[in-house]
Amino acid sequence: MVLFSQDSAPGTALTVNIGTGPLDPEAVLAVARQNAPVALTSEVLAAMESSRSVIESLAADSKPHYGVSTGFGALATKQIPASQRTALQRSLVRSHAASSGQEVDREVVRALMLGRLATLATGRTGVRPAVAQAYAGLLNAGVTPIIGEYGSLGCSGDLAPLSHCALALMGEGRVRDADGREQDAAEALVSAGLEPLELQEKEGLALINGTDGMLGMLTMAIADLHRLLTIADVAAAMSVEGLLGTDAVFAADLQALRPQPGQAESAANIRAVLHGSVLVEEQKTGTFTRVQDAYSLRCAPQVHGAARSTLAHAEHVAACERASAVDNPVVTVDGRVESNGNFHGAPVGYVLDFLAIAVADVASMSERRTDRFLDRNRSHGLNAFLADDPGVDSGHMIAQYTQAGIVSELKRLAVPASVDSIPSSAMQEDHVSMGWAAGLKLRRALDGLARVLAVEVLTSARALDMRDGGLATSRSAPVSTAVRTAVRSVVQGPGPDRYLAPEIEAVYRLVAGGALLDAANGVLEEPLH
């Protein structure tokens, strides 16, 4: 459905061309995070014209048709005369734009808007092409509706969040412009050269009835977690090195005895990071070799691999959802207008919750590896807490506290939102998915995982420096040395205690922004998976 146009001017964002097929995840990232412009193909406009003619024929019918000539939800039994149908759509949007709480991140809103535009483009919602063109105009102008974090139950779609976007199309509500300034939507439309839209039959409903918010969060979370799980493999390998562990358990033939694909990928990454490590090889020639390392080292591929397998399942669900036309009612391919339940967010909500469980467990194992570095009874010769002068200095003692606090929070965030349901709309909508809430808590969980991994990398880099005297005399593997170099570009090496919070934040930025993974891949012929 979405391709990147190759005819954009040099130095500008490539245009995302929206057709009638599935939405590409790279397009979601480009529009949500890189402000890529969007364009509708002629195929889309023709499909929308065709389905709109069906809605217009029903609008002239004396029989009631849901969303066209009736009220909504529990009020669907009331037929609305033609003279009041524009007011019906306007009232629907105004009343449903009822979010509250902290403002949702801009990238979430843009991903939500792209998802709704993609569904409009399928031609199955029955709106005029002008509606989709106006929606594309908002995205391209960088006008972002302000949405509170509370309001969606994840059934009948993300009603409140999507309603704020529809409200902005009408020139109402509050938005942020391309520079992030808050202003009235009417003012923002004028500044962008856009006209407010008057909604006709079915159009207000079509703009608010979808799983686009939770799907956008899932799509971005998948991309983020791919990166973080690879960094988790890097961190685990560096901890194996720093704790003088063995690489024997990561051998491909041992991993093949349990043919879990995610496990094999993680083990391969750890082998690649450890390849060429003098510290690891030295342990094989000593007078005593430990037969087994602790679980947090030895079982890293099994836990990280399980998270990867969970991620693969989430990718499948997300791909199906991006290929969907979620609305109620829908215009079928053969021209019928049918009510349905495809707006229920259960498929997306479940995997958002599932990923939060995996995130919590990966972070928990990372914290355990960090803790081993700090206990001189388990660190094999390192100073207590990696302190320069234990007693005078505390080293990374409290960095581990920070990790522990985050891990505890991640366990709470792993409690599924999707097992809850609160009936609404006078019991018409008596079971809901809570998928929007699952998406918001997963975003917080991913941020926590990035911070936990940053502390592990910061700690293992310090331990390796203490093992070999610093980068100039490094005995760690080439990949570990490259990662240590990246860390040392923003944080000084071991020494007396310093203000630690900025150092944790600096490494967190390396992890979250991708620079740490780039450093690792920069010395490999084949990038880590």
Decide if 66 is catalytic.
Answer: yes
Q: 106-121 and 159-169 helices cross at what angle (nearest 10)?
A: 80
Q: What is the per-residue burial (b if ≥16 Cβ within 10 Å, else e) of 124-160?
A: bbbbbbbbbbbbbbbbbbbbbbbbbbbbbbbbbbbbb
Residues in the chain, how many? 529
Characterize the bridge pairing of strands 16-18 and 38-40: parallel
Q: HSE of 221 in the Cβ direction (CA atoms, 13 Å)? A: 36
How close are the terminal C-alpha atoms of the chain, in Å?
27
- Residue 342 tokens read as 């495809």
Helix, strand, or coil here: 3?
strand
The secondary structure of residue 249, as a DSSP letter, is: G
Q: How far apart are CA 363 and CA 360, in angstroms?
A: 5
Tokens representing residue 24 in the block: 């590409």
**Could you say which of 66, 135, 350, 508 is catalytic?**
66
Give how far the C-alpha of residue 270 lies from the chain's centroid of Cα atoms, to the nearest Å: 25
Give the whole-angstrom CA distance, residue 32 versus residue 471.
39
Name the β-bridge partners of 393.
390
* List of residues 6+ apart from 47 with CB closer than 8 A: 20, 121, 122, 123
Instruction: Classify each residue of 499-512 as buried b or exposed e, where b means 16 or more C-beta atoms within 10 Å of its C-beta.
Output: ebeebbeebbebbb
User: In what helix (H) or strand (E) does residue 39 lie, and over which residues does it extend?
Assistant: strand 38-40
Task: Tell me which residue of 221, 151, 210 sits closest to 413, measured CA to CA.
Answer: 221
Encoded amino acid at 500, one letter: L
Helix spans in 332-434 (H): 346-374, 397-413
Residues near 53 by Cβ (< 8 Å), separated by ≥ 6? none
Helix (H, G, I), strand (E, B) or coil at 164: helix
- Dig out the tokens for 317 from the structure: 């669900």
Known catalytic residues are 66
